[in-house]
Amino acid sequence: MLALTSIWTTILLAAAVALAPMAIDMYLPALPQIGADFSAGTDQVQLTLSIYLIGFALAQLVCGPLADRFGRKPVMIGGMLLFALASVGCALASNIETLQLFRFLQALGGSAGPVLARAIVRDVYTPRDATKILALLAGMMALAPAIAPTLGGFIVAFMDWHWIFIVMAAYALIMVAVIAFGIPEPLRPEHRQPFRLCSLLRNYRRISTDRTFIGYTLTSAAIYGGLFAFLSGSAFVLIDVLGVAPEHFGLYTALTAGGYVLGNMASIRLASRFQPDQILFYGLIITVTSGATMALLAYQQVYSPWAVILPQAVFMAGTGMVLPQTMAGALANHPTMAGSASALLGFTQMTSAAGAGALVGLLHDDTPMVMATLIAGFAALGLLGYLLMVQRYPAQDFKTQNASS
């Protein structure tokens, strides 16, 4: 077993969390092909992503409290087994409705990784230290959206989209073995919470009325909306509208993932010089500026892959600075309910993401305009959440440098 504070444990957690973005990013290049195979419209194909996000959001509300009661490892292992089985179901789907059903089940299992990885970081580290670990974890996790679309594009080009889900299933089974034998249980017995409906509702009520939690969570959710507006619309915009070949799609999106990594690295480097909320503000300014640039280019009818990818790469750099701060800030006040707090944070993020995905599918007009406008709008909402809530109710533990930092 590895030590919980080991860099190898952080790498394993990143690999576990990567299962969720992989389930989104790897099949993006296949969306047009799936629509053609099932004779389904853009809105129906897009629904396979929105349904995944809805299931992901709902499952977290139960996954977090279960982990607070029974421990992190059993719930994470069970979730990944469900993910593997549902992935096989997706591969065998014979129509769009069956694919949507198994995508929902896939999301129920896939939610365990991100929720419990955040909770484990909060179990082990102080809130201020957690911002650095979450940034490091997110930076490593960004390899998934960099690699997954490229791999998915090659599978679509040279094999068949069904094999994308077989690869997902195999990855999940490998992670089950790694988690089972690689890391110890981080939740101490004295911190376990009873899993009773009254206790569950009481915990969620306590967390959801914490204004600090609300501020960081809403800010994070808005940026997630912008991120998933891109993920939902990028395949249709780049492949169908701008003529990018499916096997090249991943190379373009890898640049946006590179922006995310740079943002995470900047977040880690700036942590010794600036308060977390200052880094959060700088990141939000970057997302607003880049989102507005993409929207302006779209309204000026500058229709080129680079008019989408370059602003999005900068947006992702800002996102890489924003998300570690908002995640750590949202969990700061709830050390004994980290699983439930992480679940409620994730539920709000994924609800925003699902809404963004649904809007992209419904409003798509065969131009980049809808996607770009939504990205800019969600970025502006994130900055508004910071100004109205985070500035007024900051996480207290962010204000002092911890001795262990």
Mean pLDDT of 295-316: 94
At residue 246 the predicted structure's pLDDT band, cuts being 50, 70 and 90, is: confident
Phi, psi of 242 (to 5 degrees): -100, 0
| Per-residue pLDDT at 90 | 94
Cα–Cα distance measured from residue 273 to residue 279, given in angstroms and rounded to the nearest whole number: 10
Two tokens at 365? 């007009």
Lowest mean pLDDT, pick from 10-24, 131-145, 231-245 = 131-145
| Non-local CB neighbours of 144 within 8 Å, separated by 6+ positions | 18, 21, 22, 25
362 SS3 class:
helix
Extract the runs of DSSP E, i.e. beta strands, from 138-246. Answer: none
Mean pLDDT of 180-192: 74
Q: Residue 89, CB half-sphere, CA atoms under 13 Å: how many?
A: 18
Two tokens at 356? 């963004």
77, 121, 64: which is closest to 339 by C-alpha?
A: 64
- For tokens 């990028």, name the residue: 234
| Per-residue pLDDT at 191 | 65
Torsion sign, CA atoms 72, 73, 77, 80: positive
Residue scoring higher pLDDT (221 or 13): 221
**Domains by residue range for the chain, with CATH:** 7-185+195-396 (1.20.1250.20)
The DSSP secondary-structure symbol of 54 reads H
| Per-residue pLDDT at 405 | 32
For 258, counting Cβ atoms within 10 Å of its Cβ (0-12 exposed, 13-18 middle, 19+ buried), the class is: middle
- Ramachandran quadrant class, 71 (left: phi over 0; alpha: psi -120 to 50; beta: rest): left
Report CA 79 to chain centroid distance, whole Å: 17
At residue 351 the predicted structure's pLDDT band, cuts being 50, 70 and 90, is: confident
